[in-house]
């Protein structure tokens, strides 16, 4: 495995403000359809009081997702934020376990539902940290987590969900002065099955997402930005009827793809505006057959041209025997869409199906009988996946979802349901380390 490459930045670059966006033209095409001229949409200015920054970039990524659900019981107990000392002790155990497993990168959730795990000028305080949206923080939990991870030599990326917000019921507890609450009152937040979303065809919504991301990268020494697969939640035209009608577009699919492309290119520009060496990547749904048509995520554009992402990390949450998306072929299909010669492929995997299979549950969508029962009958599925990836020259690493499938975040005890699978693949993942 390659060693970490550590960079020192002397002097942070100011984020540039410019045009950007997918404002419609007379031809009905986005002004960011060609990405060459895209610029950051955020008005956020990087602070000038930091004169140096250490950045840990590990190209041979062996990563783990640490989600809001992993951290919920670590941040709070009984709906109340834990004491600083209590929280710090739990974080130290989490980081120690991650290092013990052999991971070198943590993808750490800071914005799951239009909220913030730290004090933000843009998003309300997360209920996962404080117990209630908008409640004051007792201390800086993100700073403690990032510093602890860096002290252990881990690279840490800030993980955001771009469009997904809190529910209609939860928005009431968001402070009235918050921009999301104001947009809700103005009817500017689409609702799908009781959950609210940002409409990224609106330039203001994209600017909010980009400003929040830039803020996090400036406030903390993250080593990159990571965005996952919560894009358009529906194909229903009611989601963005007003903006589509006013756009000049005639094709809703193209309209939504261009809107997401504008967001992604703007985030890329914002990340590089803070430091060229920071990395930005996206973890879309792993089914390449449906990712564009269902979620409007134009991964072919992102992986085909420069100026969008440094890496793609498809969530290939499928077994080797899956009937429609077998692991090996799915990974090869994703590798095949990278045409720009720069974007790296990292592969997302999950222990969730191993946990479920150990409880006797079939993989419902695997189609074939052998695929449905794969995680019940075999306890070395991920071992074989890791072996393939380690020998596959077109993949640069992988990431596992998620910490709680390895260990209980509060007790620190190993997850009994995944233990056999973990004990099988970790020696393969760590083979050759230290040589």
Report whether 192 contacts 258 (CB < 8 A): no
Report whether 156 contacts 106 (CB < 8 A): yes
Predicted local confidence at residue 42, as pLDDT: 62
- The pLDDT tens digits for 277-295 are 999 999 999 999 999 999 9
Distance CA 416, CA 354 (A): 11
State the residue for tokens 């995944």: 418
Q: E-assigned strands of 258-335?
A: 279-283, 311-312
- The pLDDT tens digits for 400-425 are 999 999 999 999 999 999 999 999 99
- The pLDDT tens digits for 173-201 are 999 999 999 999 999 999 999 999 999 99
Cis peptide before 402 (omega within 30 of 0): yes
- Tell me: pLDDT of 376 over 80: yes
Answer whether residue 195 is part of any domain. Answer: yes
Q: E-assigned strands of 67-185?
A: 76-77, 80-81, 105-111, 155-160, 164-167
| Neighbour-count burial of 188, counting CB atoms closer than 10 A to its CB (0-12 exposed, 13-18 middle, 19+ buried) | middle
- The pLDDT tens digits for 339-357 are 999 999 999 999 999 999 9
192 vs 35: which has the higher pLDDT:
192
Report whether 211 contacts 116 (CB < 8 A): no
Answer whether residue 79 is part of any domain. Answer: yes
Q: Provide the percentage of residues in the chain whose pLDDT is more than 70.
A: 88
- pLDDT, mean of residues 21-38: 37
Answer whether residue 163 is part of any domain. Answer: yes
Residue of 362, 358, 348 whose CA lies nearest to 401: 348
Distance CA 126, CA 195 (A): 16
* Whole-number average pLDDT of the chain: 90
Predicted local confidence at residue 6, as pLDDT: 39
Answer whether residue 39 is part of any domain. Answer: yes
Chain centroid to Cα 376, Å, comes to 29
- Two structure tokens written together for 260: 């997401």
Chain centroid to Cα 296, Å, comes to 17
Distance CA 321, CA 300 (A): 26
- Tell me: pLDDT of 72 over 50: yes
- pLDDT, mean of residues 225-236: 95
- Two structure tokens written together for 335: 């590798």
Q: What is the pTM for the complete model shown?
A: 0.90
Tell which phi-psi region holds residue 276, choosing left (phi > 0), alpha (psi between -120 and 50) or beta: alpha
- Tell me: pLDDT of 311 over 70: yes
Answer whether residue 189 is part of any domain. Answer: yes
Angle at 404 between CA 401 and CA 407, to 5 degrees: 120
Predicted local confidence at residue 28, as pLDDT: 37
31 vs 245: which has the higher pLDDT:
245
| Neighbour-count burial of 151, counting CB atoms closer than 10 A to its CB (0-12 exposed, 13-18 middle, 19+ buried) | exposed
Report how many domains make up the chain: 1
- Two structure tokens written together for 244: 């589509």
Q: How confident is the model at residue 45 (pLDDT cuts 50, 70, 90)?
A: confident
Cβ within 8 Å of residue 2, ≥6 positions away: 58, 59, 60
Answer whether residue 345 is part of any domain. Answer: no
Predicted local confidence at residue 432, as pLDDT: 65
- The pLDDT tens digits for 255-265 are 999 999 999 99
Handedness of CA 246, 251, 257, 258 (dihedral sign): negative
| Neighbour-count burial of 27, counting CB atoms closer than 10 A to its CB (0-12 exposed, 13-18 middle, 19+ buried) | exposed
CATH number of the domain bearing residue 139: 3.20.20
Report whether 390 contacts 403 (CB < 8 A): no
Predicted local confidence at residue 8, as pLDDT: 34
State the residue for tokens 């699919």: 253
- The pLDDT tens digits for 100-114 are 999 999 999 999 999
- For 229, the domain range is 5-313
Residue of 378, 370, 385 whose CA lies nearest to 328: 385
- Tell me: pLDDT of 20 over 60: no
Which one-letter DSSP state was computed for residue 30? B
Residue of 273, 165, 294, 295 whose CA lies nearest to 225: 273
Distance CA 56, CA 189 (A): 37
Answer whether residue 15 is part of any domain. Answer: yes
Q: How confident is the model at residue 31 (pLDDT cuts 50, 70, 90)?
A: very low
Rg (CA), the chain: 21
Predicted local confidence at residue 15, as pLDDT: 34
39 vs 193: which has the higher pLDDT:
193
Answer whether residue 389 is part of any domain. Answer: no
Number of residues that make up the chain = 435
Predicted local confidence at residue 53, as pLDDT: 82
Q: Indicate the helix (H) or strand (E) that contains 6.
A: strand 5-10
- Tell me: pLDDT of 10 over 50: no
């Amino acid at each position: 495995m390659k060693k970490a490459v550590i960079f020192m930045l002397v002097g942070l670059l100011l984020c540039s403000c410019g045009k950007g966006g997918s404002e419609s033209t007379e031809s009905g095409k986005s002004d960011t359809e060609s990405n060459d001229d895209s610029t950051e949409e955020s008005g956020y200015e990087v602070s000038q009081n930091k004169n140096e920054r250490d950045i840990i970039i590990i190209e041979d990524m062996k990563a783990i997702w640490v989600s809001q659900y992993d951290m919920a019981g670590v941040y709070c107990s009984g709906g109340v934020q834990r004491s600083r000392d209590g929280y710090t002790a739990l974080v130290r155990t989490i980081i120690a376990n991650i290092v013990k497993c052999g991971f070198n990168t943590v993808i750490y959730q800071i914005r799951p539902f239009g909220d913030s795990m730290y004090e933000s000028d843009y998003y309300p305080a997360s209920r996962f940290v404080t117990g209630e949206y908008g409640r004051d923080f007792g201390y800086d939990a993100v700073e403690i987590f990032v510093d602890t991870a860096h002290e252990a030599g881990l690279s840490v990326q800030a993980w955001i969900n771009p469009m997904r917000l809190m529910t209609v019921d939860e928005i009431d507890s968001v402070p009235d002065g918050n921009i999301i609450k104001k947009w809700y009152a103005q009817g500017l937040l689409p609702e799908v099955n009781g959950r609210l979303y940002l409409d990224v065809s609106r330039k203001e919504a994209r600017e909010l997402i980009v400003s929040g991301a830039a803020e996090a990268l400036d406030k903390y020494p993250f080593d990159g930005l990571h965005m996952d697969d919560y894009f358009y939640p529906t194909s229903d035209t009611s989601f963005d009827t007003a903006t589509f009608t006013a756009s000049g577009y005639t094709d809703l699919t193209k309209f939504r793809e261009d809107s997401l492309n504008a967001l992604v290119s703007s985030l890329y520009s914002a990340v590089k505006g803070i430091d060229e060496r920071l990395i930005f990547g996206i973890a879309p749904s792993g089914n390449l057959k449906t990712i564009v048509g269902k979620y409007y995520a134009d991964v072919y554009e992102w992986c085909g041209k420069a100026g969008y992402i440094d890496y793609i990390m498809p969530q290939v949450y499928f077994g080797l025997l899956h009937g429609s998306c077998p692991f090996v072929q799915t990974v090869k299909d994703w590798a095949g869409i990278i045409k720009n010669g720069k974007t790296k492929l990292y592969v997302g995997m999950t222990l969730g199906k191993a946990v479920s299979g150990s409880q006797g549950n079939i993989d419902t969508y695997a189609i074939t009988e052998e695929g449905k029962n794969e995680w019940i009958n075999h306890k070395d599925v991920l071992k074989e996946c890791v072996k393939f990836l380690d020998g596959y020259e077109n993949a640069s690493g992988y990431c596992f979802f998620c910490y709680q499938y390895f260990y209980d975040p509060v007790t620190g005890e190993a997850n009994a349901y995944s233990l056999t699978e973990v004990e099988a693949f970790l020696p393969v993942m760590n083979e050759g380390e230290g040589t």
